[in-house]
Amino acid sequence: MTLRVLLADDQALLRGAFRMLLDSADDITVVGEAGDGREAVRLVRQLRPDVVVMDIRMPEVDGLTATSEICADPELRDSRILILTTYETDEYVAQALRAGAGGFIGKGIGAEELLDAVRTIADGDTLLSPAATRSLVARFLATPAEAPPRRAEQLAVLTPREREMVTLVATGLSNQEIAERMFLSPFTVRAHVQRAMTKLEARDRAQLVVIAYRTGLAQATHDGGTDRLP
């Protein structure tokens, strides 16, 4: 299957470079380009790409606002957002995840890394490293000021095994790492995680992490790690 990508960046030169790189892959094709967030939203509705590679700083409507609008539209649920920017601050990462983005990487990324990033996001996984996930969630998503009141009843749809998997995902572990810890196959772990995402209506793995903290299934510890509630 060929992945369909939309590029959103206000710098035409960069869009051209990214387009050449992405189109060089046999399994990826660029279906459109946008110079600002408003145009990005319009083209996502028109073209329904699998992945949107989105810059943050753009005129008219910025990338975070465009991401929020795209992710809030149920009809655009299948379009994943990959934030690609020079502004790699914790606050921007947090805002991107809360908006619904599936990943956040810097423009200094290598060619193969960008191709892999697009494939990873299209597959529904988050791109953040385990360490970045733990730090990010602990700092921005698990604090009283950021998190709404817990809605633990939202988790009632999960089986005990699925709750366990979501908790491990919230620590930033990959499917492979969870499989090794639980003595399961990566395929089995992926199946549990995907079912949990479906039941909780999570767009992707990043949003599943947010839900884990906001419902109280996982909590930040003083050392920046995570704990499971009793």
Q: SS3 for the chain, per residue? A: CCEEEEEECCCHHHHHHHHHHHHCCCCEEEEEEECCHHHHHHHHHHHCCCEEEECCCCCCCCHHHHHHHHHHCHHHCCCEEEEEECCCCHHHHHHHHHHCCCEEEECCCCHHHHHHHHHHHHCCCCCCCHHHHHHHHHHHHCCCCCCCCCCHHHHHHCCHHHHHHHHHHHCCCCHHHHHHHHCCCHHHHHHHHHHHHHHCCCCCHHHHHHHHHHCCCEEECCCCCEEECC
Domains and CATH numbers, the chain: 3-126 (3.40.50.2300), 136-228 (3.40.50.2300)
Give the pTM.
0.68
pLDDT of residue 222: 42
**pLDDT(229) > 50:** no
Q: Over 90: is that where the pLDDT of 3 sits?
A: yes
Share of residues in the chain with pLDDT > 90 (%): 47
Residue 63: is its pLDDT beyond 90?
A: yes
Q: Name the more confident of 206 and 165.
A: 165
Indicate whether 23 pLDDT > 60: yes
Task: Look up tokens 């730090």; give the residue.
Answer: 135
What is the pLDDT averaged over residues 119-126? 81
Look at residue 227 in the predicted model and tell me its pLDDT. Answer: 43
Whether residue 145 has pLDDT greater than 80:
no
More confident of the two residues 3 and 129: 3
Q: What is the pLDDT of residue 217?
A: 84
Residue 80 confidence (pLDDT) = 93
Looking at residue 143, its pLDDT comes to: 56
